[in-house]
Amino acid sequence: MWPPMRRSATVASRTAWADAASVAPLQLRVAAARRGWHGRSWHSATGTSCSIASPITQATEFQGVRATSSRMSPSARGGLAADARRRAFASSPPPKQPKPQTRPVLVNDEDLDAWANGPTVLGHVYSRPSSDPYELSTTKEHSGGEVAPDGWMLRLMSAAGLKSTACNNQDSFSYTLLESGWVLTVVCDGHGENGDMVSERIARSLPMFICHHMDAMGFEKALTEAFLLAQADLEQSVSPMQAFSGATVAVCCNNPTTGEVWVAHAGDSIVVIGDLATGQPLFHTGEHKAHDPEEAKRLEECGAQVICKKYEDGETVSRVFIPRTGVPGLAMSRSLGDGCLKKYGVTALPDVQNISGIWEKCTHPICVIGSDGLFDTISVEDTIASLAARIRAGHNLTQGVLKLIRRSQHYWIEEEGDYCDDITLVMVGPKPVFDDSAKAK
């Protein structure tokens, strides 16, 4: 019923194949190693090179090609990366579908601050990236800041990972309490050289766009429109940065009064709805991957090159490339940003779902949103079970959320040794009360 837990060792061991399957020149493969595109370090291949003609290629034929780590100075990598981008755009064929028109949106920081401090917002907070390994992100508050609805609890945490080079935490989150009673929670997982800036921008702009359109459009259309507007905003406000950087996005919108709950996501950040009374997850979003049939069809029609590999345990790993370039090797089929791949079918359109019925079935419902840094090491079942056990024992859930993050970091280092992904865990929902002997603090 639920996808298997993906331990980091498994994920890390499955990144070398993609570069071995690529026949791009060494400098393009080095460019593909720009941090964050895949969440791991890619490897340059030595051995027999093979031609890839079709847009979607199974990489199993390249098994046996020996992969070794590619090490270059930052300055050399930067020069080669710039050369890779020029080559990529020069050699890429025209798309089979026309590029959509850019929406007429231009939002500056003053507009975002004015909305966050305006009359429709009772509280708004967004994260500011930390850079030291394992350090928790700070937050910027507007209006009432991190204020929860009456009888609700709220925990927002994001921790920087451990990377080979110093860089900011590329995960971002935001929380908004609207005057109308709606609670908007956003988690973004950035990738690419400027992934931290892209993810923070989305975390700030997306709730504003939702707020502006939800009354006129309703939530289903408003969430879709908000994602497209956030993409348009990136293209205009941080255009050079978003060309080779992007973010996955997961959103949950709750109305404590009516019990209405909507979720939307693009990429592989996950929204989980669980019941603290049973310790069981009742719903979680999926992941947008290039080997999924519907996603693969769209990418192929747009002329993208997708390389897939299936392993003996049944897991399939896929990467999206600009044709005949070996870059960038994006690990998901939907995201915001990633402008270089938009004409090849990597869309910002989200999957939107009304899960009010599932929320209503929970005795003590809880919403958890996490980046893949968490769920690559700890399953959705374990996440909900751990929080439920802690609150039933009368322990503080702030420490429970932090302990989950620290446990995930421990798993990363235990398996990787010198790498840990950024990890974000956001939790929101009504305060559960069990019996007098085990009340949550």
Does residue 102 form part of some domain?
A: no
Q: Report the 10 Å Cβ neighbour count for 345.
A: 25
Clarify whether residues 114 and 159 are in a common domain: yes
Domain boundary among 275, 305, 331: 331
DSSP string across 314-380: S-EEEEEE-TTT--EEES-SB-EE-GGGGGGT-B-PPEEEE-HHHHHH-SSEEEEEE-HHHHTTS-H
pLDDT for position 83: 54
Q: How confident is the model at residue 93 (pLDDT cuts 50, 70, 90)?
A: low
Give the residue, 24 or 135, on which the prediction is more confident: 135
pLDDT for position 84: 52
Does residue 96 form part of some domain?
A: no
- Across the range 199-216, mean pLDDT stands at 96
Answer yes or no: are the C-beta atoms of 400 and 113 closer than 8 Å: no
Clarify whether residues 414 and 315 are in a common domain: no
Clarify whether residues 125 and 256 are in a common domain: yes
pLDDT for position 104: 52
Clarify whether residues 37 and 79 are in a common domain: yes
pLDDT for position 62: 30
| 349-386 burial code (b ≥16 CB/10 A, e <16) | ebebbebeebbeebebbbbbbbbbbbbbbbbbbbbbbb
Domain boundary among 302, 331, 360: 331
Does residue 248 form part of some domain?
A: yes
Q: Who contacts 11 (Cβ-Cβ below 8 Å, separation ≥6)? A: 39, 40, 376
Q: How confident is the model at residue 165 (pLDDT cuts 50, 70, 90)?
A: confident
Clarify whether residues 37 and 19 are in a common domain: yes
Nearest partner of 277 among 367, 362, 398, 357, judged by Cα: 362
pLDDT for position 398: 82
Clarify whether residues 383 and 310 are in a common domain: no
270 pairs with which residues across the strands?
370
- Across the range 82-109, mean pLDDT stands at 54
pLDDT for position 409: 96
The per-residue pLDDT for range 266-296, each reduced to its tens digit, is 999 999 999 999 999 999 999 999 999 999 9
Clarify whether residues 230 and 368 are in a common domain: yes
Count the residues in the chain. Answer: 441
The per-residue pLDDT for range 169-193, each reduced to its tens digit, is 999 999 999 999 999 999 999 999 9
Answer yes or no: are the C-beta atoms of 327 and 31 closer than 8 Å: yes
Residue 366, pLDDT above cutoff 90: yes
List % helix, strand, coil for the chain (3-state, nearest 5).
35, 25, 40
Give the residue, 343 or 6, on which the prediction is more confident: 343
Give the residue, 47 or 400, on which the prediction is more confident: 400
Answer yes or no: are the C-beta atoms of 207 and 124 closer than 8 Å: yes
Clarify whether residues 169 and 259 are in a common domain: yes
348 pairs with which residues across the strands?
none
Q: How confident is the model at residue 202 (pLDDT cuts 50, 70, 90)?
A: very high
Residue 42, pLDDT above cutoff 60: no
pLDDT for position 268: 95
Clarify whether residues 393 and 253 are in a common domain: yes
The per-residue pLDDT for range 406-424, each reduced to its tens digit, is 999 999 999 988 899 999 9
Give the residue, 204 or 239, on which the prediction is more confident: 204
Domain boundary among 331, 360, 391: 331
Residue 439, pLDDT above cutoff 50: no
Output the domain CATH number for residue 271: 3.60.40.10
Residue 101, pLDDT above cutoff 70: no
Does residue 304 form part of some domain?
A: yes
Query: What residues make up the domain containing 163?
Result: 109-288+349-438
Residue 405, pLDDT above cutoff 50: yes
Give the CA count within 13 Å in the CB-facing half-sphere of 95: 19
- Based on the structure, what is the number of domains in the chain? 2
Give the residue, 35 or 326, on which the prediction is more confident: 326
Clarify whether residues 143 and 258 are in a common domain: yes
Clarify whether residues 140 and 202 are in a common domain: yes
Residue 13, pLDDT above cutoff 80: no
Does residue 387 form part of some domain?
A: yes
Q: Angle 219-237/195-217 helices, nearest 10 degrees?
A: 140
Clarify whether residues 128 and 12 are in a common domain: no
Least confident segment among 67-76, 187-196, 222-231: 67-76
Answer yes or no: are the C-beta atoms of 2 and 281 closer than 8 Å: yes
Least confident segment among 98-102, 134-138, 346-350: 98-102
